[in-house]
Structure 1
Amino acid sequence: MTEKINIENKLFEIFKNNWHEEFLFDGLEHRKIMYKEFFTNILKFKEKLEKLGLKKNDTICYLTPNSLELIILYFSSLFLGLKIIPIDIEKGIDEIEEILSLSNFELLINDNFEIKSNKPVISINEFKITSSSIVNISEVELIKKINYDSIFLITFTSGSTGTPKGVMHSFRNLFDSSIAFNKIFNFSKNDIFYHNLPMSYMAGILNLIVLPLICESKIVLGNRFSISNMSNFWEIPIKYSVNIFWFIPTILELLLKLDRTDIGIKYSKNKNLLGLVGTAPLYSKTKTNFEEKYSIPLFETYGLSETLFVSANSQKFQKNNSVGKVLNNVEINFLENQVIIKVPCYFENNFYLTGDLGKIDSENFLFITGRSKDIIIKGGINLSPKKIEDIIRNFKFINDTTIIGIKDEILGERIACFIVPKITFSENQKKIINSEITKKLGVLYRIDEFFILDQIPRTVNGKIDKPKIRETYDLI
């Protein structure tokens, strides 16, 4: 088991020892913040939240793009004893409102969204970062008075039932998982992480905010990844000498296909870079092609919102097609080939049923071989097929339908829709369906491919036979 580290003393030492060091860099707005400025603005934003009437154990929802202000507000919320619920701005209006309806919150920090809410709503623009009136370093003692065991973070994930599921964690959970993960990599103040994942998901919070802080590393904020910014992907990392990247497989594939310059190749060959990969399966072909092109070693990892970090390949030990060696604070078992995981942070040490199929070898390397739960992972984001099916079944020109995820080199999986139309099915009807899906669920839920059937195959119990559909259409 990983040796327990005192969280209060660790955080206290991090701020005290790095008080005059730079910590956060905003590659978009060309700003940089030292630890002393970071801490000062945490207290400043905390005071503003208190003036807005928030108090210990209250809940605040964040519906806003990535920014330095958002990072600071997360820690201001921690200092005040609040629960935070980040929501992805790229979700559709229906899904956002559903999450808000499930959240008993006191304040919504919102950025230009017309959201129905009977609770107070303010813009993140109300919070301004200052470089003046720096607090005395003695104020860092406040770190020792924070309750790190209360619920701090609630992230909503897409469940197979279609209803968003709230996953709760204390800050201590995030801290302990980061400590266990760094036992493998030994990141330090010499490392600079590139943050281009959404701060509304666990990877954007645990992997790219908490982990770098615990390691006393630096964070560079860049554009949230998308197809539109792949052509200049390397611009910000080069400017700020980034050496640690958290990739999702989609980013790797997009760079291989869309990066037509050689600046990234030259940069990676002249600097000791490291790429961590998570959130979705990494195909061996993608790994090989990327490493050959950029000379950046890739290390696949495995983790879940519920369990946090679980396993990782590293410079010390790795195996092909494995998601890495299981961390010291994690116990793996199997229930009918399904991976079940026990971690200190999950439900008083019970096992969590992952929905992933897998195996483990004699050297404690974990292999994920498939998925038992009905979830599509597109661009590293979990999507619920049932939500799409529920929308499509409301159209009068559709008799029956089912949604299946099929392999895609760039996205990991793309969305295939199998439908039984009442009469005919036109291109215009496809557009109508996708328009409604995008409006309600967000652009990631758009259907990528339609298949027309005479009937949807079902088992003897009347359940849709998705394995048969995959087999029939060679989608395995």
Structure 2
Amino acid sequence: MATSMNLATWVQRNGRLRPDSPALAVGATVFATWAQWAATTRAIAGGLAVEYALGQGDRVAIVMRNRPEYLEALFGIWHAGLVAVPVNARLHPDEIAYILRHSGSRLVLTDPEHADDVAPLVTTVDDVQAAIVAPGADWARLCESAERALVDRCSDEPAWLFYTSGTTGRPKGATLTHGNLLMSSLSYFADIDVIGPDDSILHAAPLSHGSGLYGLPHIAKGAVSVIPTSGGVDGAEIAALIERWPGLSFFAAPTMVKRLASDPALRSADLGNLKTIIYGGAPMYLADLEMALVTFGPKLAQIYGQGESPMTITALPRAAHADREHPRWVAHMGSVGTTRTDVEVRIVDEQGAEVATGEPGEIVVRGEVVMSGYWQEPAATAETIRDGWLHTGDIGSFDSEGYLTLHDRSKDLIITGGMNVYPREVEETLLRHNGIRDVAVVGKPDSEWGEAIVAFVVPSDPAAPPETADLDASCLAALARYKRPKEYRFVDALPTNNYGKVVKRELRERLRAEPLPGH
């Protein structure tokens, strides 16, 4: 039986317990105390319910860069009993429109940087009644609405639709309930870090993804959420913010960790206030990890998870990074750690039978943290969650100590700069070009981005292949910039098996055989 649980209660509790303590900050400056954030949350909830006539379970999308209004919006949505749809603000307008349409979002909360992209969608996406720009006049009026009491929600009711690319090239909305997000936060306390009200979290990575999820346990315990003024990853700025805010943690993709570890500003900074850097979402080369440990000290913790099991499958904590005397330290650093407290993890064969220690197979997971399913996608849900187990599509193996090593990710997924890209949506875009007969997109190991997107192209006319600039333009007209291939390779044919299916493994192996720049 589901229990009552609304995550927005955290902000209200902290508003009573620590009314004058900083809750939200921009750079070094306090943006709101806990009492102020709690009042704003109640007002936003009241405005959403009265002015926009939204009722329990209605969806509200957030298309913003990182800013304090993002978190105000998120908890205002929850306070009103609504479902948040955080959207990656770097997506192409057509991709944003698809998510709004698929989720049935009734309202979009955006910012001045994205207003021009979002505003036209009000007239083209049926369910969307308005786009509110924050900050702006409509947002100010929303924040001054009559306050609303917290709306009860059950732990099994949706809180966050986490849209992640799927193998079909269309994103799917992993339905994360209040209970899922509560369990994810409790697991953070159990396996990653203890958080106190004098700590802080820096949101340099997108709030729509990992940084937002890791922000939740910090908000639960009354820590301050800090938004960098630059809105991104700047070494000098981060160094200054570490000095300003005690007990500071942040989430970063391995490419971000590598860049920051080599930044002169951080290498010479006083990092005494740095608490934890949580990294994950892509492989991290041992040489890069060792450099990061030199710069930051043993303050790194790795996580392995998916949006469907919000960043909660295994973990490699700070203590493991610090234990250099362990005879298997190198092997541990090459793993993604051990099973988290709140889940069971198995390695299974194609028939679903558990394999022996050391044998590779598909990673499956179950626990209260696993999503309830894909939004409006019963077939995809049934394919992914079978007999109570989430099938990750990732291949890995456990060693005798229980450390999990990833051998390959989902068959086609490319992770570049910490962002997920599924090749099919890039391929479908390129195949609309008249100069392309066939194409296969794969990831190539890259020392800066983790993986670089490479398109193997069979031109329609081998004597006159299309210009790469023209192909770039085709991609940028339909896809987010980070999904554009870094390289095009023109070939006579793609490798296929007996059934005519392209064997991407051969293409990946061809690329992996090449020297990795910088290593």
Cα displacement (A) at 1:432: 1.4
C-alpha distance 335-191 of structure 1, shift in aligned 2 (>3 A) = same
**Structure 2 counterpart of 1:149:** 156
Aligned match for 1:161, one of 168, 171, 188: 168
Cα displacement (A) at 1:276: 1.4
Residue identity opposite 2:242 in structure 1: P
**Structure 2 counterpart of 1:127:** 139
**2: CA distance between counterparts of 1:10 and 1:55?**
18
**Structure 2 counterpart of 1:304:** 306
**Structure 1 counterpart of 2:489:** 451
C-alpha distance 153-347 of structure 1, shift in aligned 2 (>3 A) = closer
Q: Which moved more, 1:428-437 or 1:82-91?
A: 428-437
Residue identity opposite 1:283 in structure 2: Y
C-alpha distance 9-388 of structure 1, shift in aligned 2 (>3 A) = closer
* TM-score using structure 2 length: 0.81
**Structure 2 counterpart of 1:44:** 43
3-state SS of paired residue (1:440): coil
**Is structure 2 residue 245 aligned with structure 1 residue 240?**
yes
**Is structure 2 residue 334 aligned with structure 1 residue 325?**
no
Cα displacement (A) at 1:274: 2.2
Cα displacement (A) at 1:254: 2.1
Cα displacement (A) at 1:307: 0.8
Q: Deviations over 1:72-125 (max 9, x none)?
A: 111111111111111122111221222222121211223332433343222233
C-alpha distance 352-78 of structure 1, shift in aligned 2 (>3 A) = same
| Kept after mapping to 1: 8 A contact 2:9/2:79 | no
**Is structure 2 residue 259 aligned with structure 1 residue 254?**
yes
Cα displacement (A) at 1:410: 1.6
| Kept after mapping to 1: 8 A contact 2:31/2:68 | no
1:9-158 paired onto structure 2 within 5 Å: 11=10, 13-27=13-27, 30-50=29-49, 51-110=51-110, 111-113=115-117, 114-115=120-121, 116-118=124-126, 119-122=128-131, 123-124=133-134, 125=136, 126-128=138-140, 142=149, 145-158=152-165
C-alpha distance 134-79 of structure 1, shift in aligned 2 (>3 A) = closer
**1: CA distance between counterparts of 2:108 and 2:269?**
44
C-alpha distance 231-418 of structure 1, shift in aligned 2 (>3 A) = farther
Aligned match for 1:204, one of 208, 211, 216: 211
**Structure 2 counterpart of 1:218:** 224
**1: CA distance between counterparts of 2:432 and 2:390?**
35
Cα RMSD (Å): 3.0
C-alpha distance 474-58 of structure 1, shift in aligned 2 (>3 A) = closer
Q: Any unmatched runs of 5+ in structure 2?
A: 322-331, 350-360, 373-386, 515-519
| Kept after mapping to 2: 8 A contact 1:157/1:167 | yes
Residue identity opposite 2:366 in structure 1: K
Q: Deviations over 1:272-307 (max 9, x none)?
A: 532211222222111101111333532211111111
Residue identity opposite 1:205 in structure 2: G
Q: Which moved more, 1:100-109 or 1:283-292?
A: 100-109
C-alpha distance 410-221 of structure 1, shift in aligned 2 (>3 A) = same
3-state SS of paired residue (1:312): strand
**Structure 2 counterpart of 1:346:** 370
Number of residue pairs aligned between Structure 1 and Structure 2: 461
Cα displacement (A) at 1:365: 2.6
**1: CA distance between counterparts of 2:94 and 2:398?**
40
**2: CA distance between counterparts of 1:395 and 1:75?**
43
| Kept after mapping to 2: 8 A contact 1:192/1:219 | yes
| Kept after mapping to 1: 8 A contact 2:99/2:171 | yes
**2: CA distance between counterparts of 1:440 and 1:265?**
42
**1: CA distance between counterparts of 2:433 and 2:487?**
18
Residue identity opposite 2:205 in structure 1: L
**2: CA distance between counterparts of 1:321 and 1:146?**
41
Taking only the aligned residue pairs, the percentage that are identical comes to 21
**2: CA distance between counterparts of 1:162 and 1:272?**
39
**Structure 1 counterpart of 2:376:** none
Residue identity opposite 1:198 in structure 2: P
| Kept after mapping to 1: 8 A contact 2:61/2:108 | yes
Q: Any unmatched runs of 5+ in structure 1?
A: none
**1: CA distance between counterparts of 2:58 and 2:471?**
39
Q: Which moved more, 1:376-385 or 1:120-129?
A: 120-129
C-alpha distance 275-472 of structure 1, shift in aligned 2 (>3 A) = closer
**Structure 2 counterpart of 1:282:** 284
**2: CA distance between counterparts of 1:417 and 1:199?**
30
Q: Deviations over 1:369-411 (max 9, x none)?
A: 2124211111111111001111111111112111001111121
| Kept after mapping to 2: 8 A contact 1:324/1:365 | yes
Residue identity opposite 1:312 in structure 2: A
**2: CA distance between counterparts of 1:455 and 1:32?**
57
| Kept after mapping to 2: 8 A contact 1:197/1:224 | no
**Structure 1 counterpart of 2:296:** 294
**2: CA distance between counterparts of 1:31 and 1:378?**
33
**2: CA distance between counterparts of 1:109 and 1:9?**
18
Cα displacement (A) at 1:172: 2.2
C-alpha distance 304-221 of structure 1, shift in aligned 2 (>3 A) = same
C-alpha distance 474-296 of structure 1, shift in aligned 2 (>3 A) = closer
**2: CA distance between counterparts of 1:314 and 1:367?**
15
3-state SS of paired residue (1:287): helix
3-state SS of paired residue (1:127): helix
| Kept after mapping to 2: 8 A contact 1:37/1:131 | no
**Structure 2 counterpart of 1:430:** 468
**2: CA distance between counterparts of 1:376 and 1:360?**
23
**2: CA distance between counterparts of 1:5 and 1:57?**
15
**2: CA distance between counterparts of 1:87 and 1:330?**
27
| Kept after mapping to 2: 8 A contact 1:287/1:298 | no
**Structure 2 counterpart of 1:187:** 195
